[in-house]
Structure 1
Amino acid sequence: MRTIVLLIISNVFMTFAWYAHLKNLQNRHWLIAVVVSWGIAFFEYLVQVPANRIGYRGSFSLAQLKITQEVITLAVFVPFAVLYMGAPLKLDYLWAGFCLAGAVYFIFR
């Protein structure tokens, strides 16, 4: 469970590092966005690296860690896109979730 919680926290940082500059720093030079994103990504790595180490030493294989991270990424990205960035909620997110559910099934069976 620690791995999952840490990966969720990590993905929140990652999503902001990768995409928030599109909204918040749109009128700034791209190098400013890079520096800010790197600063946010630093905190993402402080959580992500321990999460993967705990999971890998525990009960997750490398492939299971990756698929778990992808599911969490979608679960974090959709609310971020809709609530923070103002993107419309689309059925495509649901279909992507079904595809990831299939990936989870095959990697954990």
Structure 2
Amino acid sequence: MNTRGLQTIIFLVISNTFMTFAWYGHLKFKEFSWGKNLGLFAIILISWGLAFFEYLFQVPANRLGFKNEGGPFNLVQLKTIQEAITLIIFMLFTTIFFKTEKLAWNHLVGFCLIVLAVFVIFKKW
């Protein structure tokens, strides 16, 4: 893999970390004194703020990685990489921050099938 491919993956990991916090992190706000009385609109604004940082990495990742922009990946490959990274980040986030949530065998099988999808999409047939 070339430098652009590695940069793409690193940026996608950072982007998806921000995305996961924007989408699910607010579910933990009530556990903090500053977040106990936040209304929905305030939570949305905070999540939008986090999503801004997601886009600061997502857009460059796609531009760096896209074949038509000099990168190593076609559009389907970029989306597949992004989805696989999203699930990995989500699994880590869930196990670290939501200790009451348990990943069951069917979740793991489903995630493995998505990883298998990455193989199938990248395989030269």
Q: Same fold (TM over 0.5)?
A: yes
Q: Counterpart of 2:74 in structure 1: which amino acid?
A: S
Quick one: distance in 2 between partners of 1:82 and 1:52? 28
User: Aligned residue for 2:104?
Assistant: 90
Is residue 2:105 matched to residue 1:99? no
Aligned partner of 1:71 among 84, 99, 109: 84
Aligned partner of 1:8 among 9, 13, 17: 13
| Superposition RMSD in Å | 1.4
Aligned partner of 2:53 among 24, 35, 43: 43
Work out whether residues 78 and 93 of structure 1, in 8 Å CA contact, stay in contact via their aligned partners in 2: no
- TM norm structure 1: 0.92
Quick one: distance in 1 between partners of 2:110 and 2:56? 28
Is residue 2:38 matched to residue 1:28? yes
Q: Rg: which structure is higher? A: 2
Gaps (5+ residues) in structure 1?
A: none
Aligned structure 1 segments of 4 or more residues deviating by more than 6 angstroms: none
Q: Counterpart of 1:92 in structure 2: which amino acid?
A: N
Quick one: distance in 2 between partners of 1:78 and 1:62? 25
Q: How many residues align?
A: 109
Quick one: distance in 2 between partners of 1:65 and 1:53? 10
- For 1:21-79, what per-residue CA distance to the aligned partner results, in whole angstroms no more than 9, with x for missing partners? 11115752111110000000001100110001000031100000001001000110001
Greater displacement, 63-72 / 19-28:
19-28
Identity over aligned residues, as a percent?
Answer: 48
Quick one: distance in 1 between partners of 2:77 and 2:40? 35
Q: Could you tell me how far 1:107 is from its partner in structure 2?
A: 1.2
Work out whether residues 3 and 51 of structure 1, in 8 Å CA contact, stay in contact via their aligned partners in 2: yes
Quick one: distance in 2 between partners of 1:6 and 1:73? 12
Q: Are the structure 2 counterparts of residues 18 and 99 from structure 1 closer, same or farther at C-alpha, using a change threshold of 3 Å?
A: same
